[in-house]
Amino acid sequence: MIEVYTDAATKGDPGPSYAGVFIKNGTAKNSYSAYMGELSNHEGEFASACYALRICRDLYPGEIISLRTDSKIVVDTFEMNSSKNKRFLPYLTELQQLSDHFSFVFMKWIPEKENKNADDLSKAALRQHVYKSDAD
């Protein structure tokens, strides 16, 4: 089973949003971060989960994925397979499509303190962007 931790850091609402993804596969640990676009905080969390599954699709097709996030709305939307918020529906569709590449995907909500690696990655990427923008 591949353990995948995701988080997003967003400045503004909407604003620049960065994903942090930390993946544990046995003793191997890998870190990723990327710009997700100008998003709200919730959209950033969804985009981060999608980004994580795209990474896993390329590296671990057919595996069991345990995606862990401190975003309850992402977990609830995925588990209920629906959202009343129309802005989240494209993310739900992408999560569903990406899930087809694995033998099983489950999402688990975790407290922020258990998501430190992904949180640090997303915040570091955002800080780098902010400092770069401030210098321009």
CATH number at residue 73: 3.30.420.10
pTM score, whole prediction: 0.93
Residue 132 lies in a domain: no
Residue 130 lies in a domain: no
Residue 134 lies in a domain: no
Beta carbons of 78 and 26 less than 8 angstroms apart: no
Q: Which residues touch 89 (CB under 8 Å, ≥6 apart)? A: 83
Residue 127 lies in a domain: no
Range of the domain at 55: 2-118
Q: Which helix (H) or strand (E) holds 107?
A: strand 104-109
Percent of the chain residues topping a pLDDT of 90: 92
Beta carbons of 18 and 9 less than 8 angstroms apart: yes
Number of domains in the chain: 1
Among 17-26, 28-37, 110-119, 126-135, which is the least confidently predicted range? 126-135
Angle formed at CA 84 by CA 80 and CA 86, multiple of 5 degrees: 115
Which pLDDT score is estimated for 136? 47
Q: Please compute the mean of the pLDDT values over residues 72-81 and round it to a whole number.
A: 97
Residue 64 main-chain phi, psi, to 5 deg: -90, 125
Q: In what order do the strands lie in the sheet with 64-69?
A: 28-39, 15-25, 2-10, 64-69, 104-109
Give the CA distances from residue 132 to residues 19, 59, 135, in Å, rounded to whole numbers and listed in that order. 17, 31, 5
Q: Please compute the mean of the pLDDT values over residues 100-124 and round it to a whole number.
A: 97
Residue 126 lies in a domain: no
| Side-chain-side CA neighbours of residue 111 (13 Å) | 2
Which pLDDT score is estimated for 108? 97
Q: Please compute the mean of the pLDDT values over residues 79-87 and round it to a whole number.
A: 95
69 pLDDT band, cuts 50/70/90, is very high
Residue 133 lies in a domain: no
Residue 87 lies in a domain: yes
Q: Which residues touch 123 (CB under 8 Å, ≥6 apart)? A: 9, 18, 20
